[in-house]
Amino acid sequence: MLNFMEKNDQKDDLAEDSIIENEEFGYSKIEIFHPEDTAKLAYHYGEILKILGEDTDREGIRKTPLRVGKAIQFLTHGYSLDPMKILTSAKFREDYKQMVLVKDIELYSLCEHHMIPFYGKAHVGYIPDKYITGLSKIARVVDAFSRRLQVQERLTTQIRDCIQEALDPLGVAVVIEAHHMCMQMRGIQKQNSVTTTSAFTGAFLNQIQTREEFISLIASKLH
Ligand SMILES: [Zn+2]
């Protein structure tokens, strides 16, 4: 859903801009690699590579510090996004009071303890009370919070709280299922195990039936 493009092919130009845009969903943002940050990151990643025993003059690795410096800025671009603004920018008055469900939202994040990826899916539901938002905005909010250093538990509650605060709905439900590379690669977790977290407000918290409906809808392969 995100397009990550480079304006030109001169990969080693520090001043190069990059554009992140999502115009098909009515939201666009130009993300610029800050040249100063890129230069600093490249310098420090170069030092890290030397500490690890790499020859930073080796052809394959010569531009790696610069590439990593840019990559890490993209992987943490959520810091420059305002999730509340994303929701309120497309907040509409509507009398619909049934559950709205956006399931299987792709999610990529970095664990804040090791800066190693965790990735999976988010399922978000809410029951509007006067206000709805664009469906794509829900996915954008997931992205804005996940493209930071995170723990899955906080990510789950941040998404919930943001939607609750922005739309004041009758209830919000968030379930995240994720694989944690930092556990898998270090041999702490079995390869295919999934960590599931959930956070609810309002009707999803108080009414077992509503919560069960949400759970069965996200488990359904037909949706
Ligand atoms: Zn970790």
Query: 73-76 contacts: CB < 8 A, separation 24 or more?
Result: 73/33, 73/34, 73/37, 73/38, 73/41, 74/4, 74/18, 74/20, 74/31, 74/147, 75/108, 75/110, 75/147, 76/110, 76/147, 76/148, 76/149
Ligand 1 center to residue 189 CA distance, Å? 11
Q: Is the CB of residue 123 less than 8 Å from the CB of residue 89?
A: no
CB atoms within 10 A of CB 82: 12
Buried residues in 123-148 as b, exposed as e (16+ CB within 10 A):
bbbbbbbebbbbebbbbbbbbbbbbb
What is the residue type of 84? M
pTM for the full predicted model? 0.84
List the pLDDT tens digit at each of the 223 positions of the chain: 333 433 333 333 333 344 444 444 444 444 568 899 999 999 999 999 999 999 999 999 999 999 999 999 999 999 999 999 999 999 999 999 999 999 999 999 999 999 999 999 999 999 999 999 999 999 999 999 999 999 999 999 999 999 999 999 999 999 999 999 988 888 776 767 899 999 999 999 999 999 999 999 999 865 4
C-alpha angle with apex 61: 107 to 48, nearest 5 degrees?
Answer: 75
Q: What is the pLDDT of residue 7?
A: 35
pLDDT single digits (tens) 39-51:
999 999 999 999 9
Ligand 1 center to residue 18 CA distance, Å? 28
Alpha-carbon span 56 to 64, nearest angstrom: 8
Alpha-carbon span 97 to 132, nearest angstrom: 9
Alpha-carbon span 62 to 46, nearest angstrom: 9
Alpha-carbon span 40 to 203, nearest angstrom: 48
pLDDT single digits (tens) 94-109:
999 999 999 999 999 9
Report all structural domains of the chain as residue ranges with CATH numbers, in order of start.
Answer: 3-75 (1.10.286.10), 82-219 (3.30.1130.10)
Alpha-carbon span 18 to 33, nearest angstrom: 6
Cite the active site residues: 111-114, 152, 180, 182
Ligand 1 center to residue 184 CA distance, Å? 10
Q: What is the pLDDT of residue 188?
A: 74
Ligand 1 center to residue 196 CA distance, Å? 16
Is the CA virtual torsion 50, 52, 58, 64 positive or negative? negative
CB atoms within 10 A of CB 10: 10
